[in-house]
């Protein structure tokens, strides 16, 4: 039997919020409507439900932390799901009215209609694409209405009758024995899914669910100026709704890959260029990388190590209103190494010619220290 913390993927000091979040994430991943390809999905969910049942209860968790699985058994705290007929019962027990739908974020509406759950995924783009905006095509699995039965779960031309398991109520009750007595849980009927009616002859395509797992492809327009981790919402592209309910939404998290040439600071970009000390003293023209290619930049004579030259309008565009950012070029003054005899002689002559006026700084000691530490 696996460690409960390992099952949920949380550390032993995880708080209640982290435990709940981890369990809901697993429940979405193990939903049977999108896991028809995984015959072990039901057992995996039961394992996750068992772990959550223990770790979400303070007393059970203390017992488990101290004595492990055996301690739960001897103390009468061991989870028991025998009273639940199927994974549908379990979803209903843990997520309340709506069962499957609640686990996926679906919303039950008037007339028994259920809004479809949302889908979330991530895409990766380059910094250059983030600057100009781009389009990416994503593919993902989501539930869709069965085309054969049009979502009612019945083989075409056959009737839909009252559910014989719940008597048309759409709900069933399960009794579980605990240390404190019997606990009654109400869950959606696993046979009719809460509708109170079932197909006399289930649809051969969807086995009466009215829904099938389908792969979708969607083109997502990523706006210029987007930052790493920001989320785009595409309405109506999530899981299909049930019994006339609207579909959920698709959320796309945009990951902007790092560019080795730049560090991004909101709309500004920062880059570092090497300039040999003699050239920094004399002044020179260098080539600087930008999002539009290399451009020339004049480095003034006497430029000091760590000084920044700002190229206005060469940064990232704003996401919405605002101005385009700047490119901040940090000058890294490089001291020459491995000098030959001639170079050393020239530098010695140069050093001997330097006077106080060549070394005087306009800034004070505090400003010097700040600049040195910032560099």
Run of H or E including 343:
helix 341-353
How far apart CA 218 and CA 144 sit, in angstroms, is 14
Per-residue pLDDT of 60-96, as tens digits, reads 888 888 888 777 766 555 555 544 444 444 454 444 4
Q: What are phi and psi of 332, to 5 degrees?
A: -100, 100
For residues 333-360, one letter each, b for 16 or more C-beta atoms within 10 angstroms of the residue's C-beta and e for the rest, the string is: beeeeeeeeeeeeeeeeeeeeeeeeeee
Judge: domain 1-79, CATH 3.90.420.10. no
Better-predicted residue by pLDDT, 366 or 281: 281
pLDDT at 20: 85
Q: What are phi and psi of 188, to 5 degrees?
A: -60, 145
pLDDT higher than 70, residue 6: yes
What is the mean pLDDT of the segment spanning 266-270? Answer: 90
Residue 176, classified by CB atoms within 10 Å of its CB into exposed (0-12), middle (13-18) or buried (19+), is middle
User: How much is the mean pLDDT over the chain?
Assistant: 78
What is the mean pLDDT of the segment spanning 154-173? Answer: 82
pLDDT at 92: 47
How far apart CA 97 and CA 373 sit, in angstroms, is 59
Domain ranges (residues) in the chain: 1-79, 113-144+213-257, 263-374
Q: Which residue do the tokens 């920044």 mark?
A: 308
Per-residue pLDDT of 50-68, as tens digits, reads 888 888 888 888 888 888 8
Query: Can 1-79 and 263-374 be said to share one CATH topology?
Result: no
pLDDT at 179: 54
For residues 130-159, one letter each, b for 16 or more C-beta atoms within 10 angstroms of the residue's C-beta and e for the rest, the string is: bbeebeeebebbbbbbbebbebbbbbeeee
Band (pLDDT 50/70/90 cuts) for residue 135 is very high
Task: Give 311's DSSP letter.
Answer: E
Judge: domain 113-144+213-257, CATH 2.40.50.140. no
Q: Which of the following CATH numbers is that of domain 263-374: 2.60.120.10, 3.30.565.10, 2.60.40.1120, 2.60.260.20?
A: 2.60.260.20
What is the mean pLDDT of the segment spanning 191-195? Answer: 71
pLDDT above 90 covers a percentage of the chain that reads 8
Run of H or E including 53:
helix 41-55
Q: Which residues contact 341 (CB under 8 A, 6 or more apart)?
A: none
């Amino acid at each position: 039997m696996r460690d409960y913390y390992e099952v949920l993927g949380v550390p032993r000091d995880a708080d209640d919020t982290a435990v709940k979040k981890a369990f809901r994430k697993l429940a979405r991943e193990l939903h049977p409507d999108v896991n028809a390809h995984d015959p072990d999905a039901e057992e995996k969910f039961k394992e996750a439900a068992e772990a959550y049942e223990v770790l979400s209860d303070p007393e059970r968790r203390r017992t488990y932390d101290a004595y492990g699985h055996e301690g739960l058994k001897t103390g009468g705290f061991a989870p028991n799901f025998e009273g639940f007929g199927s994974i549908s019962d379990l979803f209903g027990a843990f997520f309340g009215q709506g069962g499957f739908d609640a686990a996926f974020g679906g919303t039950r509406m008037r007339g028994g209609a259920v809004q479809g759950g949302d889908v979330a995924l991530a895409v990766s783009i380059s910094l250059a694409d983030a600057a100009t905006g781009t389009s990416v095509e994503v593919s993902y699995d989501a539930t869709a209405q069965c085309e054969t039965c049009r979502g009612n779960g019945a083989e075409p031309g056959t009737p839909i009758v009252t559910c014989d398991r719940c008597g048309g109520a759409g709900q069933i009750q399960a009794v579980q024995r605990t240390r404190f007595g019997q606990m009654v849980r109400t869950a959606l009927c696993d046979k009719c899914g809460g509708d109170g009616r079932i197909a006399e002859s289930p649809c051969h395509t969807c086995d009466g669910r009215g829904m099938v797992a389908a792969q979708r492809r969607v083109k997502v327009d990523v706006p210029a100026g987007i930052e790493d981790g920001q989320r785009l919402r595409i309405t109506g592209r999530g899981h299909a709704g049930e019994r006339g309910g609207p579909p959920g939404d698709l959320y796309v998290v945009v990951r902007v890959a790092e560019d080795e040439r730049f560090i991004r600071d909101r709309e500004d970009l920062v880059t570092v260029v090497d300039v040999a000390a003699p050239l920094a003293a004399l002044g020179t023209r260098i080539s600087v990388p930008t999002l539009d290619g290399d451009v020339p930049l004049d480095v003034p004579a006497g430029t000091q190590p760590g000084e920044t030259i700002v190229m206005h309008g060469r940064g990232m565009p704003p996401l919405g209103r605002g101005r385009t950012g700047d490119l901040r070029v940090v000058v890294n003054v490089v001291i020459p190494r491995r000098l030959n005899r001639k170079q050393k002689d020239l530098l010695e002559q140069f050093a001997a010619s330097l006077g106080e006026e060549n070394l005087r700084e306009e800034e004070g000691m505090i400003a010097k220290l700040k600049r040195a530490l910032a560099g």
